[in-house]
Amino acid sequence: MLSALQMFITIAVIALATFATRALPFLFFGSREPPEMLAVIEKNLPPMILLLLVIYCLKDVQWLTAPYGIPEFVTTGVVAGLHFWKRNAMLSIFIGTALYMVLVQFNVFSFL
């Protein structure tokens, strides 16, 4: 079991590291324009992260046994449709998560 001092030191180090990662870009690029490579990364990073999340979510789907990935495809379609329609990531993620939980918990596709 960790002592109170060890927990305090751990929390302090994590807080300091988090603050440093937030403050360093302002220190480095506060008075000048960031490099072009950083602008490219900034533009392309969110779609790359979303692609990795989709791949991670679909990696363990059993494609050859019932329900053949249908809940995953339905919820992926709902999330994409909501996101393109409302342009609200939180709304699409929460509704997609809730829909997936309902489809899996209540075994909606058990007839397959």
Average pLDDT of the residues in 70-84: 92
Task: Specify whether the CB–CB gap between 99 and 82 falls below 8 A.
Answer: no
Q: Are residues 60 and 111 in the same domain?
A: yes
- Domain extent, residue 26, equals 1-32
Banded pLDDT at 93 (limits 50, 70, 90): confident
What lies within 8 Å, CB to CB, of 89 at 6+ separation is 83
Q: Are residues 18 and 64 in the same domain?
A: no
User: Which alpha helices (H) appear in the chain, and where do they start and end?
Assistant: 4-29, 36-58, 70-86, 89-105
Banded pLDDT at 86 (limits 50, 70, 90): very high
Please give the pLDDT value at position 77: 94
pLDDT at 56 over 80: yes
Is residue 51 in a domain?
yes
What lies within 8 Å, CB to CB, of 75 at 6+ separation is 96, 97, 99, 100, 103
Question: Which pair of tokens denotes residue 107?
Answer: 């075994």
pTM over cut 0.85: no
Question: Which pair of tokens denotes residue 33?
Answer: 């324009």
- How many residues appear in the chain? 112
In percent, the amount of the chain with pLDDT more than 70 equals 100
Average pLDDT of the residues in 48-75: 90
Q: Are residues 54 and 106 in the same domain?
A: yes
pLDDT at 1 over 80: no
Q: Are residues 28 and 65 in the same domain?
A: no
Distance CA 108, CA 71 (A): 9
Is residue 40 in a domain?
no
Number of domains in the chain: 2
Q: Are residues 91 and 112 in the same domain?
A: yes
CA dihedral 81, 49, 24, 35 (to 10 degrees): -90
| Each residue's pLDDT tens digit, 11-43 | 999 999 999 999 998 888 888 887 888 889 888
